[in-house]
Amino acid sequence: MRLAISIGISPRQSLNSWASLAHELERAGVGRLWLIDSQLAMKDVYAGLLLAAQKTERMELGTGVTNPLTRHPTVTACSIAAVAEVSGGRALLGIGAGDSAVYGIGQRPARVAQVEASLSFFRGVLASGAGEWAGHRYTLPHLSARVPVWLAASQHRMCALAGRLADGVILMGPAEVSHVTRQVGWVLEGLHQSGRQRREIEISLITTVSSKPDRQAALADVRSWASAQARLIADFAELPAGLDGFRNEIQQAKKSYDFSRHLSRHAGHQSAVSDGLTAALAVAGNPAECAFRLRELGATGVDGFIFPLLGGGRLERLKKLSEEVLARL
């Protein structure tokens, strides 16, 4: 299984030190890096990917994830094509409807139809160099290598869309077995509708892990991630099984969320999420407990995981994850 991580460039981190970190992450065994695109909370995603491309040799590099709203799709296509060129063909484009990057500027996420149109455009233009968008045909000035297109999805229609069109899907939401099983089923539904084969899409589940002997410390460590997930599922048409009792808490997490502190371990909004909800939304506990949860989640039909690498000693976090948890799988 390829070790994949999700990471953002903190405002407190220099871009030069980020480039060095990318090099060290590859040396530590990371095979795929998804860089967060959230312009009011983190440094620029494409600058970060280009710097990482110059400092690495094997690691795949992707937007984790961007959206069709904050940049014109031709701008996004040209930017990721540059990453593909500098990296020697290691670029991935991850897109979604828009989350912190969109809410932070007072907009709403893209509708499913808009996401589908952008997905079709990106699949075309990043494979052949030309694609259709809003009734116009556009050609990139240069495309050195095909760029696989991934879709971040959580609910039924987006998961099915990924199955129909995407090269890969990043499943978002709670680390809850029955819910992830449903999401995989929705992806396969779209796959079958389009006549595609299972081998034509890679399914990854994004979930954060904190392995500590003290369960309370582990829960506190992932509470910021849990608060972001709670805000995300607040808009679900139907809450996943087992979370109905947290309905009021989930709505409060949405109401109190500060997008300028997106995924920050120091954000005040994380206090809206209780231990019980945190435990349902993330993987936290001692190494054996974390490995058990991941084995359960891995049996849902996903091909692998994406692990958000939270701030505070990221290389040490990665080492603990690899040696204490993943080695048990």
- Per residue in 265-277, pLDDT (tens digit) is 767 777 779 999 9
Per-residue pLDDT, averaged over 30-47, amounts to 97
pLDDT at 252 > cutoff 70: yes
Per-residue pLDDT, averaged over 206-212, amounts to 96
pLDDT for 257 equals 87
Q: Which class in CATH covers the domain with range 4-212+287-328?
A: alpha beta
pLDDT for 266 equals 67
Taking the C-alpha atoms of residue 254 and residue 231, their distance in angstroms, rounded to an integer, is 4
Per-residue pLDDT, averaged over 33-56, amounts to 98
pLDDT for 12 equals 92
Lowest mean pLDDT among 70-74, 117-121, 134-138, 249-253: 249-253
Hey, where are the domains in the chain?
4-212+287-328, 223-281
pLDDT for 197 equals 98
Taking the C-alpha atoms of residue 179 and residue 181, their distance in angstroms, rounded to an integer, is 5
pLDDT at 129 > cutoff 90: yes
CA-based nearest residue to 183, from 199, 171, 193: 171
259 Rama sector, left if φ>0, alpha if ψ -120 to 50, beta otherwise: alpha
pLDDT at 315 > cutoff 70: yes
pLDDT for 269 equals 77
- Of 196 and 228, which is predicted with more confidence? 196
pLDDT at 260 > cutoff 90: no
Residue 220: band (very low, low, confident or very high) from pLDDT cuts 50, 70, 90: very high
Residue pLDDT, tens place only, 145-176: 999 999 999 999 999 999 999 999 999 999 99
Cβ-based neighbour number of residue 225 at 10 Å: 27
Residue 321: band (very low, low, confident or very high) from pLDDT cuts 50, 70, 90: very high
Helix, strand, coil shares, percent, the chain, to 5: 50, 15, 35
DSSP code per residue over 63-106: ES-B-SSSS-HHHHHHHHHHHHHHHTS-EEEEE-S-SHHHHTTT
- Of 252 and 45, which is predicted with more confidence? 45
Residue 319: band (very low, low, confident or very high) from pLDDT cuts 50, 70, 90: very high
Taking the C-alpha atoms of residue 20 and residue 38, their distance in angstroms, rounded to an integer, is 21
pLDDT at 264 > cutoff 70: no
Lowest mean pLDDT among 158-162, 182-186, 226-230, 263-267: 263-267
Per-residue pLDDT, averaged over 117-141, amounts to 98
The pLDDT > 70 percentage for the chain reads: 99
Per-residue pLDDT, averaged over 111-121, amounts to 98
Secondary structure class of 277 (helix, strand, coil): helix
pLDDT for 272 equals 79
pLDDT at 110 > cutoff 90: yes
Cβ-based neighbour number of residue 122 at 10 Å: 28
Would you state the structure tokens that stand for residue 129, as one six-digit string?
């160099």
